[in-house]
Amino acid sequence: MPKAVWNGTVIAESDKTEVVDGNHYFPPDSVNREHLQDSETQTVCGWKGTASYCSVVVDGDVNTDAAWFYPEPKPEAQNIGGYFAFWKGVQVE
């Protein structure tokens, strides 16, 4: 089962991830939200839409903008709406 781990802590775990562009997108209910801190960062993907970011926080350590999601994806990416993906050292195993 895929899981996202940072600093030895499981941030998300699910056997229902969606893989898009090589990234596992985890369903919202599989994410330990206590380890995410909202960010004002946003980026735009031409076919997925506007991504919003969160920082990952574990034991006071902050990994800035290490998680992202598409709150209102374009029609082609509806399957990942609200799902979270990770990068910046967050290991997906």
User: How far, in Å, are 5, 18, 46, 67, 70 from residue 59 at the CA level?
Assistant: 13, 28, 36, 17, 27
HSE-CB for 55 with a 13 A CA cutoff: 12
Residue with tokens 């998680």: 67
Dig out the tokens for 49 from the structure: 């839409």
**What span, in angstroms and rounded, lies between the C-alpha atoms of 24 and 67?**
11
- The number of folded domains in the chain is 1
| 29-83 tens-digit pLDDT | 999 999 999 999 999 999 999 999 999 999 999 999 999 999 999 999 999 999 9
Residue 63 is part of which domain span?
A: 3-92
pLDDT, position 46 = 95
CATH code at 62?
2.170.150.40
